[in-house]
Structures are given as C-alpha cells and as structure tokens.
Structure 1
Amino acid sequence: MNKISSARISRLIGNWRASEGKISQQLSLAIAKLIAARELPVGGVLPSERALATALAVSRGTVVVAYASLRDAGILDSRHGSGHRIIASATTSGTVHTRLAGEVLARPQDIDMTSGALPPSPVLTRMLAALRGADLEGVATGLGYDAAGLPTLRWAVARYYTDLGLPTHPDNILITSGAQQAVWLLANALVDASDAVVVEDPVYRGSLEAFHRRNARIIPVVVTQHGLNMEQLEKALRNRPKLLYLFPEAHNPTGRSLDEASRRHLVRLLERYPTFLVEDGAQTELSTLAETTPRPLAGQMNPEMVATIGTLSKLFWGGLRIGWIRSAPSVIKRLASFKAVDDLGCSMFDQHIAVGLLENIAEARIYRHQEVAGHLKIAEDLIAEHAQGRWHWARPAAGTAMWIHMPGVDTVALCQEAQRHRLFLSPGSGYSAHENFGDFIRLPFVRPPATMQFAIDTICNLTADA
C-alpha cells in the first residue's frame, strides 16, 4: 500500500492558506493541485484526518470536510479500514497544474527562511557594473550550443581543482545549470529503478527528490554531530549499492565536515567495497572556521568511481546558474549526452562571466568567509538570548544554516503555524529519506539581524509551551 505521510504533504503543500475562502476549501484545493501535479500519485493513500490535522495545525473537522469535497469531486475513495485512496487525477477551474502546486511564492510581507541562499557578492556586482557591450560581443559566435560547456570555462574550473591539489583536465569537467542540475544528471545517468542508493540521514532535499524520481531504493546512513556513522555505512556498502551520495565537507543540512580520520576511513571502505561516489561540494567554499578550501576526496580515489559537484552559486550568487561535475572523461561524455537532451547547454553569456569570476575567487572567498562567520555569530547570540537553552545545535563548520534540535516540538506542525505569522520554515523531516528528525528545523542564519530577530522571536513564541 502506497501510504503518503502527513509530513510529506506538509512539505509539499507550501503556503496553502494564502487564498480567500473557508479553510477546508483551501485545503481541498491545495491537495487537488498536488494530485494534478503528480506530487501525490493516483493509487496513493492519504493520511488519516487526525494525522493530517496535526501536521497542518488545523482542526480534524477541517480535514474531514476537505476529504469529503475531494470525494464528491471523484478524486478520493474513502473506505473503512482502507483509508482515503486517490482514484483520479485532478484539475482546478479547468486548468491542469504542471508545477508543484504548493510552491507558492512568498508575498512581499512574508519572510522566507526555507533557503540559505546568499545575496550577490560585491565581486560579481562590481564585475557586472564594469561590463560593456564589447566585452560580450565576442561570445556570440557559432551556434551557441555546447552541451559540455564553454571550453574556456572548463579550463578555468580545471585550474580551480588543480590549485586545490587535484590535477584536472578540461575533459574531466562538465558545466551544468547549477549544482542542482548536476545532481539530477548524475541520478538520471547512473541510477535505474530499484537500484540501491546510499545517502546520509539527514541529507539535501533536492537529492532525495532526484533519487525518488528514479524510483531508487534509498538507504540512509545516520549523520550526527560526531559525523557519519561508519558502521552503518560499511553495512550498506557490503550490499553493493549502485551509488553513494554524500557531503564530505559542509554537509547539507547539518553543516558538519568529516575530520581527517573519518575521511581516511571512508576512502578505505570504498576501496574495500567499490561503489561509485557522488561527492557534493556545493557548500565547500562556505567555511565558518577557515578561509582555506579542502582538497576533494576524489584525489584519493579511483578516478573512474567518483564524481565531484561544484558551483559558483554560493560564492557569487544563486542567480548565476553555473555549476559543474568533475569526473573521468568517460563519465563526462555520458553525462554530456544527457545534458544535450535536457537543455542543449548552459547560457554562453553566463559562462563567459563565470570565467572572470573564477579569476577573482581569492577575493570572493575572503568576503564570503567574513560574511558567513559574522552572520553566524549574530544568530547564535540571538538564540542563546531568546531560546534559553530549549534549542540544541552544533556550530556548523560550513554552510549557511543551523540544524536545530527542539525536543518535544512537532516541527512539521510548527512550520505550518509559522506560516500564519508570515514566516516560512523547513522542518527536519523533509531532509530524511524516512522522514525522521520530526523535532528538528533547518534555520538559515544569513539574514539581516532584524529578520533573524523576528524569526527567532516567532519560533520561541510558538514553542513556548513545548
């Protein structure tokens, strides 16, 4: 039976109470949109009225009426002992929803804390201000398509890794539309239905979606403040999974980095149980502790069995959709063929700008390090002052968010309640293959002090009785 958890619906449904009308009508409409968008599959069984009411912080009666409306529309079939099964797709007002329907853009007065994205780096804005038409004129040559990426940018990324102590040739590099596309390309090229994929628990949400879409068997390995559970990892690798996906540095969402002993242990395990490693380095440049960038694990492994993901989004700006994959030339050629089908290649103008940005990477590192470390100090001081010991976290070694434990708090319900106070948060269960961490939240700290003050005050007020 394909049971759909209340935590999954809560994560997908987004700002469902932004429209006018009765709450029950808004809820039935939001669920119908998720079904139309195929985020909730036909044949799936929705959670009980009580479970969904708790997750969404509404009355059980509201869910009862919403389900009844969906039954009347021929979308649900409710039977005693069998639950509420989705029996048909849905349209709303004659419009088929082709995007994740719960993903509604926050209104201007809302505060979105679901992303840890940073504002543009002054290194980028200064470069853009200095650009003239003549600087870009030479880019517009040929047909404008290159699935593998602009050759000069591939050379620049190769130099980036070589400078980190990992000799790299442009043939080892594929340019992607950010790190997110890199994850999706690797999932689609390397993973088939029912393949076992080992991930950390918790793990980056975008990777879970990518592997779920491939119908992979996801095997989670616990991550704690002390690092990756190596015993669990060895047990998982013994069963010969298709792929291992992890963050050796700057883990998303916990912010932890493996120490040297753990890195050596991991390399030994992969030598003993050869498994293709996807090393996600999207946040590697965002250290809160030091300005040096660590050498990727790929330098200690069989080059045919590893792919390393990188991006410019963190150092410079998320709106610059330039990322990459570093791997063996044979893997890069296969990935390039998938990318050619997907989008024919990244924007040549963005890639041209990226070449210049990589030439100024030292300055960008210093700026981001100071920015991230300063914001973290402010956030920690605010939490220490207002949470009064009720929240528990380990100081992130890198990244832009804190992984906070709130004992006794249902954070799925908390995040739904926070939306009514114009605050959008991410519950911990959304970062887990098995929807664990129901009393954790991921809280970005790279926001102005007044915004952090509002967010922390709101959370404290909503959890005062927990």
Structure 2
Amino acid sequence: MIDGKSASEIFDSIRQHITSGKLAKGQTLPPVRELAAQLDVNRNTVAAAYKRLVTSGLALSLGRNGTVVKETPPPLALEGGNPHSPLTDLSSGNPDPARLPDLSQYLPRIHRTPRLYGDAPVSSELSQWARTWMQETLPVDGEINLTSGAIDAIERLLCAHLLPGDSVAVEDPCFLSSISMLRYSGFTASPVTIDQEGMLPEKLEEALSKGARAVIITPRAHNPTGYSLSKARAAKLKHILNRYPQVLVIVDDHFALVSSAPWYPIIAPQTLHWAVVRSMSKTLGPDLRLALVASDKATSAKLRLRLNSGSQWVSHLLQDLAYACLSDESYQQSLAETRKLYAVKQHKLYSALRARGINNIAPGDGLNFWLPLGHASQSTAFALAKAGWLVREGEPFGVNAPAQGLRITISTLNDSDITRLAADIHQALSL
C-alpha cells in the first residue's frame, strides 16, 4: 500500500493514505526495518519519512512502540459567552461593554488620505505613542510592530522562530485560545504549574531543561485565574531565563492598559529573542482587534516579513481609531476609572467569599476570578446554573490534564450581584 523510493515520496504516500482514510487514526505504521525491506530502500530513508510525518503533526512517535497515525484531537472550547442564555452570563471573559469607548465620537479624527501598498505598516503616531508607553518593558533597545490581536502576535512569533513539534512552555491552566493556537500550529505545549504568584520556578526550570524552545508568560491578569506575578516571583523567573538565553521569551501583557498590578521585568539581559505583547481587546473592545508588539530587532525583522503593506498589515482605519482613543485625555481618565472599578470588584467578591468561610482563593486582577475546586467542576457549575448564574467550567483550561475550578467573569457585576453570587457559591459548595 505504501510506496516510494525517497523519503519525500514515502512521506507523500503515507500522507495520502491518511488523508483518504486508508490509514486510520491511531493505526501503527509498519516498523522502519520492515517497510525499508518492502520498498527496497535504506532504513534511514524510511526513518526520515517517519520523522517528517511526526514533525508535520500527522504521526506520533512512541519510541520502541513504533509510530502511529495521530488521532484527531477533539474540538477545543472557545472563548466567549452565550448571548442566548437566560442565565446571568459570567462565563464570557468579556470586558464591561459600558466601559468601552464610544468609537463614533472618534471617527472624525480618522485620516482622509488613503493608505496604499508600500506605506508604513504602523502609523507614525501610533508607533510613537506605543514606544513611549512600552519603554518600561524593553530590556534593551527594541522595535514596535502591530498585529491583529495577542494570539495573532504569539502565533507569528512562534512560527518565526520555531519548527513544528517544538515544545513551548505555557502556564497551566492556560488561556483557551493559546491552547488552541499551539495545537493547530503543530507545537507541543509544555505545562508549567502556576500559583497565586505566577509560574512555579522549579516547573519552568524543568520545562526548559527538557528542551522547551519558547516560553509564554502572562505577567498580569492571567486568564483564567486573574493572578499576577509578584515582584519576588518575577525575579526568580528572570534568573532562570538568564541561563537559557537561546529560548524565545514572549510576555503576553494583554491587560496592560487596565491592570491594577505593577509591571515587573521578566526578560533577562542575556535573552537573545524576546517580545512583549500588549493587546487592545480588553480596553477598546474585542472588535477593535490589534496588539502592539515590542521586540528585539532580529525578531522584529522576522515579523515584518509578514506584516508589510502588501500582505497582512493591520488596517490603518483601526490604527487611527485606536490612536484617537488612546491619545484622548478624557478617555485616559475613563481608563483609570475602569482600572479601579475592576480591582474593586475583584476585592469585593474575594471579601464576600472569605466572609462565608471560603478561604482557598485570592483576589485577582482584571476581568476573571478563579474559584479552585478539589473535584470536577460540573456539579458546582450546575448548582450555580440553577441559582441563575452561567460560569465557565475550568477543565478545558488545563494543558494536559483537566483544571479543577470555575472561572467567573466579574466585569459587569454590581454590589448586589456580588453579595448574591457569593451566597450562591457558598450554597453550591455545601451540596
């Protein structure tokens, strides 16, 4: 059934059989020695074909147990809520719509001159604003680029530096879109356990020592937990990264504009390739999807190969709208109020739960509050649904094993909601 004389021909033959269904998911491929004899080729030729199948994500190497056709992973959960639910939706991860800018008032400020192929991919005004704002994040002199959101930035950065099959150290639990992006881009997620101060240093060291080629760190308002790096933890992680200068370090500071947690540097001076990503989605709204990327010059050059004004640059209309908002003093004042409002809601829910004897929690930063559970979350989520609340079950946020907890989006809660929710959580946990 399998034919070919070169590694490329054997790879193409097996790929065609997988695509057509002649080779089923989970089926073991013939041993290298056996297939080499059958095709009358050198064993190294078959081994090279199998290696390419593995790196392409079509097969999985089980060592001495052979090579099998890779199973199709089940569909991943998606971010967002359920607009048709009759329940109060605390599952979405969305910002409070009332705290987003009224973009219509900024439309008159948009440039009337058309932008054409060959124009600068990032407007000079937005680039200068970003450089000033992101100066604190730069370990050395860097450059500014723009992508269509944080996940778009991270995917481009990984693809610029890594090969399919390479390991990427990520927080566990992890943002749903990050898990999905890694899976479908062909990278291997290496989970690094987190606590209320961020990644555990010994777990990051373990992932890097086992060959992780990149690490993605959320310094503030981690999704799903809301946790932020402490100063001491950031210093420990930076010290570890200092010993692995070849590892690509991506800092996903997605909540930077409305975070109430301080910024602590993570990128070591010896790190060769690094990037800090700051998204506008939680500040200006998910529909105004763009992210600023500060990075070293070599990484910037790789990004710009795909972000030039002839392929995939971010619309200048969106850039103009973003700059009009960000440079408006009244909107900056509104951002300060939003930052304080989210922080107050976090602490009020934390205090309300603690008052009811729920102590295994910590106030987070940002839009989401994490309720750890010692068991599968479905029963607790169902009890809260009967009380009128739709929350996000934590299991899908686990990288290799289910994460036991509930993610609760607090952005639209008022004081009365928080009091009632805390009472209902207490009741649900008592069942």
Which residue of the partner structure matches residue 297 of structure 1?
266
Counterpart mapping for 1:105-124 below 5 A:
105-107=82-84, 109-120=86-97, 124=101
Q: Of 200, 215, 219, which aligns to 1:229? A: 200
The superposition leaves residues 389-411 of structure 1 with CA deviations (integer Å, 9 ceiling, x where unpaired) of 24621122x2221111233x420
For residues 301 and 253 of structure 1, do their structure 2 counterparts lie closer, same or farther at Cα, with a shift above 3 Å needed? farther
CA distance in 1, matches of 2:346, 2:77: 32
Match of 2:397 in 1: 431
Larger Rg computed on CA atoms: 2
Contact 1:276 1:306 survives alignment (8 Å): yes
Aligned match of 1:279: 251
Rounded Cα–Cα distance in structure 1 between residues aligned with 2:359 and 2:26: 36
In structure 2, distance between residues paired with 1:258 and 1:109: 36
Residue equivalent to 1:443: 408
**Quick one: structure 1 residues 448 and 254, their matched pair in 2 at CA, closer, same or farther if it must change by over 3 Å?**
closer
Q: TM-score, normalised by structure 2?
A: 0.71
- AA in 2 matched with 1:191: L
Letter in 1 for 2:160: A
Shift of residue 261, structure 1, vs aligned partner: 2.9
> SS where residue 190 of structure 2 aligns?
strand
Corresponding residue of 1:309: 277
Which amino acid is 1:150 matched to?
S
Shift in alpha-carbon separation, 1:144–1:427, aligned structure 2, 3 A: farther
Residue pair 1:111, 1:424 contacting (<8 A) in 2 also: yes
Contact 1:418 1:424 in 2 (8 A): yes
Instruction: Please state if 1:198 is matched with 2:163.
Output: no
Shift of 1:247: 1.4
Find the partner of 1:399 among 366, 374, 385: 366
Q: How far did residue 167 of structure 1 move?
A: 8.1
SS in 1 for 2:282: coil
Deviations 1:99-123 (A, max 9, x none): 9899884316343322332235768
Matches within 5 A, 1:32-181: 43=25, 105-107=82-84, 109-120=86-97, 124-125=101-102, 128-131=103-106, 133=108, 135-136=109-110, 138-143=111-116, 148-162=121-135, 164=136, 166=138, 172-181=143-152
Partner in structure 1 of residue 348 of structure 2: 378
Supply the AA of the counterpart residue of 2:168. V
Contact 1:411 1:428 in 2 (8 A): yes
Residue 44 of structure 2 aligns with which residue? Answer: none
Percent of pairs with identical residues? 20
Number of equivalent positions: 362
Instruction: Provide the C-alpha distance between the structure 1 equivalents of 2:81 and 2:226, rounded to a whole number of angstroms.
Output: 27
- Look up the match of 1:33: none
Counterpart Cα distance in 2 of 1:103 and 1:374: 23
Q: Which residue of 1 aligns with 2:38?
A: none
> Shift in Å at residue 144 of structure 1?
6.8
Q: Judge conservation of contact 2:79–2:93 (CA < 8 Å) in 1.
A: no
Q: Distance in 2 between matches of 1:101 and 1:366?
A: 30
Shift of 1:447: 1.9
Deviations 1:170-207 (A, max 9, x none): x7112112223222322333333221111121222211
Give yes or no for the alignment of 1:210 onto 2:181: yes
Q: Which amino acid aligns with 2:390?
A: F
CA distance 1:204–1:363, shift in 2 (3 Å): same
Change (3 A) 1:392 1:121: same
Q: Is the 8 A contact 2:280 2:290 kept in 1?
A: yes
Alignment of 1:235-254 (within 5 A): 235-254=206-225
Distance 1:459 1:177, change over 3 A: same
Shift in Å, 1:216:
2.0
Secondary structure of the 1:403 match is strand
CA-to-partner distance for each residue in 1:297-328, whole Å, 9 max, x for gaps?
A: 34x43464211110222333333212122112
List gaps (5 residues or longer) in structure 1.
1-41, 46-85, 89-97
Q: 1:365 and 1:334 mapped to 2: Cα distance?
A: 33
For 2:76 and 2:373, the matched residues in 1 are separated by 32
TM-score after normalising by structure 1: 0.66
Q: Which amino acid aligns with 1:221?
A: V
* 8 Å Cα contact 1:174/1:324 also seen in 2: yes
Q: Distance in 2 between matches of 1:447 and 1:145?
A: 43
> Residue 152 of structure 2 aligns to a residue in which SS?
helix
Q: 1:381 to 1:146 in 2, by over 3 A?
A: farther
Aligned position for 1:31: none
Could you tell me how far 1:294 is from its partner in structure 2?
Answer: 1.9
Structure 2 residue identity aligned to 1:154: S
Cα distance change of structure 1 residues 123 and 139 upon mapping to structure 2, 3 Å threshold:
farther
Contact map agreement 2:166 2:188 (CA 8 A) in 1: yes
CA distance in 2, matches of 1:411, 1:355: 42
Q: Which residue of 1 aligns with 2:302?
A: 334
User: CA separation in 1, counterparts of 2:372 and 2:216?
Assistant: 24
How big is the alpha-carbon RMSD for the aligned residues of Structure 1 and Structure 2?
3.8
Q: 1:215 to 1:383 in 2, by over 3 A?
A: same
Contact 1:172 1:328 in 2 (8 A): yes
**Kept after mapping to 2: 8 A contact 1:121/1:317:** no
For 1:429, the aligned partner's letter is E
Alpha-carbon distance change, 413 to 147 in structure 1, aligned in 2, over 3 angstroms: farther
